[in-house]
């Protein structure tokens, strides 16, 4: 049987979620199809920077490409407002904080780039101004003395994209949208009234008729375009990010750099997220990029990114990096968004430029030594006598191994688990023998950092996907679903 919808949205990232939510809000019947898990790819792996100034990659290739990229400024301005309102409109937080953002200059050449960039952005209506080094440090005392100027935009900030994506999909569902995960669109055929959509999911083949198909397939945009008979040129980019251990709040703003790849911000948990476009290695099969495998981290990028951060925010030097990861995003050859109707495939669109997006990628474009002397690289040998326990209280063994008093009951995939009041869900699940919390990229996931940084412990709790169990306290009757 073929089910009919006004719109089929392909892709369950930020864009697909936002589109489904908005279309359903207009009264359209919507089906969102996602081949993996919601928010699993770029939308759940990014830095969450809301940056509306032209990025380093837009100014590094000269003035002409900067002018071209600036043509997307109306979308940036719209995005700035849309992100501000989003939490209220959705009725749940998406972690948006807009306390302003800096783009820094440390050399006379970079100052000249900033001056031209700010002039161009002001022409397009962006609220941005040029500060000298001392003025910048008065607003942001954590900046290094090497900063000689900065472009400051008060609209910039951050969002928690790991919660924003699922929140958008929940909003869409509340408005009546239907969602199918692990369901890949395999064919798109045009007919008089729209599109025949074929998808393959856990229950076999699905046939749907849609008046409109919206492609929000991120790095798979070109591939999905091909099955619709449309040419959508995109370039896959593998990028990396790092996160530090938490520390007391000291960075209020988003920090970027006019002369190197850098974006840096502190989260509400106190960790510092460091990224900004340093490359990772795309997976490859038969000489072509393999988008289904996770990109490989490059040591030189991790080091280069950390150096860039320490250079302008010296306070980051004392923070240990607890995790680095890579993800794949996409850009277009001219760095402008791919928006609108697909040429040659009427009724098939990339998301329009009115969505919830922070910048080009979050928007329609996406639908467009340790070293021992004599033994390099080997860790020094450790003798048994050198090993000491640190931080362990000198309490009697009997006390440490006393049975927990379990007075809270909840379920994990329908199985009853008991826990002690005040325990974290992660702790209770581990104590109950649960070893796999989720599966991503075919790998088993379980708690790693135990402090809310790595998201390895995330499961669905009471229908809220990507809930970090290491930060969530057990409650009577809570319904936990592992994503395996």
Find the shortest distance in angstroms from Cβ 469 to ligand FES. Answer: 6
Does residue 437 bind ligand FES (CB under 6 A)? no
Q: Which of 215, 243, 331, 454 binds ligand FES (CB under 6 A)?
A: 454
**How far lies 314's CA from each of 97, 191, 250, 273, in Å?**
23, 60, 11, 14
Find the shortest distance in angstroms from Cβ 403 to ligand FAD. Answer: 44
Find the shortest distance in angstroms from Cβ 285 to ligand FAD. Answer: 17
Q: Which does 454 bind (CB under 5 to 8 A by kind): ligand FAD, ligand FES, none?
A: ligand FES
Tokens of 279: 């490359």
Tokens of 344: 């040659």
Question: How far apart, in whole angstroms, are the C-alpha atoms of residue 23 and residue 261?
Answer: 36
Residues in contact with 203: Cβ distance below 8 Å, sequence separation at least 6, in sequence order: none
Tokens of 158: 């951050």
Query: Please, are residues 49 and 263 in contact by the beta-carbon 8 Å criterion?
Result: yes
> What does DSSP say about strands 479-481 and 408-412: parallel, antiparallel, or unpaired?
parallel
Does residue 465 bind ligand FES (CB under 6 A)? no
Tokens of 338: 């791919």
How many CB atoms sit inside 10 A of residue 366's CB? Answer: 32
49: closest CA among 465, 328, 360, 467?
A: 360
Residues lying near ligand FAD in the complex (CB under 6 A) are found at 10-16, 33-36, 40-43, 45-49, 184-185, 216-220, 224, 239, 241, 263, 275, 327-329, 358-359, 361-362, 366
Point out which span in 79-87, 284-292, 327-335, 453-461 binds ligand FES (CB under 6 A).
Answer: 453-461
Q: Which does 265 bind (CB under 5 to 8 A by kind): ligand FAD, ligand FES, none?
A: none
- Burial tier of 195 (Cβ tally within 10 Å: 0-12, 13-18, 19+): buried
Q: Which does 329 bind (CB under 5 to 8 A by kind): ligand FAD, ligand FES, none?
A: ligand FAD
Q: Which does 470 bind (CB under 5 to 8 A by kind): ligand FAD, ligand FES, none?
A: ligand FES
Question: How far apart, in whole angstroms, are the C-alpha atoms of residue 380 and residue 275?
Answer: 31
* DSSP assignments along 263-293, one per residue: EEEE-TTS-EEEESS-B-BPPEETTEE-TTS
Does residue 427 bind ligand FES (CB under 6 A)? no
Does residue 438 bind ligand FES (CB under 6 A)? no
Q: Which of 103, 449, 474, 480 binds ligand FES (CB under 6 A)?
A: 449
Find the shortest distance in angstroms from Cβ 99 to ligand FES. Answer: 24
146 DSSP 8-state letter: T
Find the shortest distance in angstroms from Cβ 302 to ligand FAD. Answer: 12
Q: Which does 101 bind (CB under 5 to 8 A by kind): ligand FES, ligand FAD, none?
A: none
Question: How far apart, in whole angstroms, are the C-alpha atoms of residue 241 and residue 276?
Answer: 8
Q: Which does 169 bind (CB under 5 to 8 A by kind): ligand FAD, ligand FES, none?
A: none
If the CB atoms of residues 124 and 325 are measured against ligand FES, the closer one turns out to be: 325
CA dihedral 223, 228, 233, 239 (to 10 degrees): -30
Q: Which does 180 bind (CB under 5 to 8 A by kind): ligand FES, ligand FAD, none?
A: none
Does residue 179 bind ligand FES (CB under 6 A)? no
């Amino acid at each position: 049987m073929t089910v009919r919808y006004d719109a089929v949205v392909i892709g369950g990232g930020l864009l697909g979620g936002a589109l489904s939510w908005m279309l359903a809000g207009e009264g359209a019947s919507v089906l969102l199809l996602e081949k993996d898990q919601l928010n699993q790819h770029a939308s759940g792996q990014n830095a969450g920077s809301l940056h509306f100034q032209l990025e380093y990659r837009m100014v590094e290739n000269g003035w002409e490409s900067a002018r071209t990229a600036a043509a997307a400024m109306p979308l940036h301005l719209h995005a700035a407002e849309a992100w501000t309102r989003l939490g209220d409109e959705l009725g749940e937080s998406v972690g948006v904080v807009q306390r302003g953002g800096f783009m820094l200059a440390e050399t006379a050449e970079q100052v000249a780039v900033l001056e031209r960039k700010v002039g161009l952005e002001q022409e397009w209506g962006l609220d941005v101004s040029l500060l000298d080094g001392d003025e910048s440090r008065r607003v942001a005392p954590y900046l290094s003395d090497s900063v000689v100027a900065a472009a400051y935009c008060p609209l910039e900030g951050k969002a928690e994209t790991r919660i924003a994506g699922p929140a958008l999909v929940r909003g869409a569902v509340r408005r009546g949208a239907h969602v199918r995960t692990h369901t890949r669109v395999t064919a798109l055929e045009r007919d008089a009234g729209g599109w025949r959509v074929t998808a393959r999911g856990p229950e076999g083949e699905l046939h749907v008729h849609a008046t409109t198909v919206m492609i929000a397939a991120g790095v798979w945009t070109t591939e999905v375009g091909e099955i619709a008979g449309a040419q959508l040129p995109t370039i896959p980019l593998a990028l990396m990010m790092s996160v530090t251990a938490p520390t007391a709040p000291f960075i209020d703003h988003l920090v970027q750099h006019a002369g190197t790849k850098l974006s840096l911000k502190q989260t509400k948990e106190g960790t510092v997220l460091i990224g900004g476009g340093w490359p990772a290695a795309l997976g490859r099969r038969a000489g072509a990029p393999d988008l289904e495998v996770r990109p490989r981290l490059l040591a030189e990028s991790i080091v280069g990114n950390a150096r860039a951060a320490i250079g302008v925010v010296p306070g980051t030097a004392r923070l240990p990096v607890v995790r680095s990861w890579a993800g794949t995003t996409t850009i277009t050859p001219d760095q402008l968004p791919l928006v609108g109707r697909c040429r040659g495939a009427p009724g098939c669109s990339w998301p329009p430029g009115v969505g919830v997006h922070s910048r080009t990628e979050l928007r329609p474009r996406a639908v467009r030594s340790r070293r021992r002397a004599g033994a390099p690289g080997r860790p020094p040998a450790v003798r048994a006598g050198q090993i000491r326990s640190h931080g362990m209280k000198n309490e009697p063994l009997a006390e440490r191994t006393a049975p927990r008093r379990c007075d809270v009951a909840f379920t994990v995939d329908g199985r009853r688990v008991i826990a002690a009041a005040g325990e974290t869900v992660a702790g209770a699940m581990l104590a109950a023998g649960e070893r796999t919390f989720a599966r991503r990229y075919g790998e088993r996931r379980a708690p790693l950092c135990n402090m809310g940084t790595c998201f390895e412990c995330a499961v669905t709790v009471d229908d809220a996907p990507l809930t970090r169990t290491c930060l969530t306290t057990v409650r009577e009757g809570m319904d936990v679903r592992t994503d395996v």
